[in-house]
Structure 1
Amino acid sequence: MAKPYPVEVKTHAVSYAMDRLDQYNSVYSACVDMAPKLNVSTETLRRWVVQAQIAAGGHNRPTSDQLAEIKALKSKVRDLEEVNEILKQTTIFFARELGQRRH
């Protein structure tokens, strides 16, 4: 399990990395260079930086709040599609019943 870092460490590391990203070819290469200086793992720093970029609108990826909303909406759509299918089957059943009674 990942070791929890204090909020101050995360804030400082992200700020430090974001200020210097333009000096590197990629976020990954920046994190490889800076992570040891900040005493955090490369992947941890990379995730923090990408998350900060997303939150700042620097990426075309949805934010955490948007992902949660998308997940909830997808679940609701699945439920509504299931209910709709049940209603279709019920309609077909009753249409057959009414059709038999008229003949």
Structure 2
Amino acid sequence: MAERKKFDKAFKEQIVEKILAGEATASLMAKEIGVHYSTVRDWVIAYEKDGSSAFPGSGNLKPEDDEIRRLRRELANLKEENEILKKAAAYFAKNQK
């Protein structure tokens, strides 16, 4: 299996900016760097939607995605605490009779 190519944020921005400036087409740039046309097209779409934050980098999330992850983790912790409190309340109610 061929190794997947990885490109940094600055490189992707350069490619997209060339395309948006009309200096090259997405298919030409895709052939030049050796990736499928749809990859470059997706970079352009993401850049048009999110600007320079479209390519957060490996292991990094966009701020809103990071916030969602944090809130999901917090929700899971609160649900777990709630279950513990329910069990404790049931235990103490049983022992008071």
Normalised-by-shorter TM-score class:
0.5 to 0.7
| Deviation sequence 1:56-95 (CA, Å, 0-9, x none) | 3xxxxxx722112211210110111111111011111111
Q: Which has the larger radius of gyration?
A: 1
Please list every run of 5 or more consecutive structure 2 residues that lacks an aligned counterpart in the other structure: 52-60
Q: Aligned residues, how many?
A: 84
Q: TM-score if structure 2 supplies the norm length?
A: 0.63
Which structure: greater helix fraction? 1
TM-score for both structures, normalised by structure 1: 0.60
The answer to which structure, 1 or 2, has the higher relative contact order (CA under 8 A, 6+ apart) is 2
Question: What is the root-mean-square deviation of aligned Cα atoms in Å?
Answer: 2.8
Partner of residue 55, structure 2 = none
Counterpart for residue 24 of structure 1: none
Long gaps (5+) in structure 1: 21-29, 57-62
**Which of 30, 36, 46 is equivalent to 1:51?**
46
After superposing on structure 2, the runs of 4+ consecutive aligned residues of structure 1 that deviate more than 6 Å are none
CA 1:87–1:7 in structure 2 vs 1: closer, same or farther (change >3 Å)?
Answer: closer
The percentage of aligned residue pairs carrying the same residue is 25
Of 28, 34, 39, 2:33 maps to 39
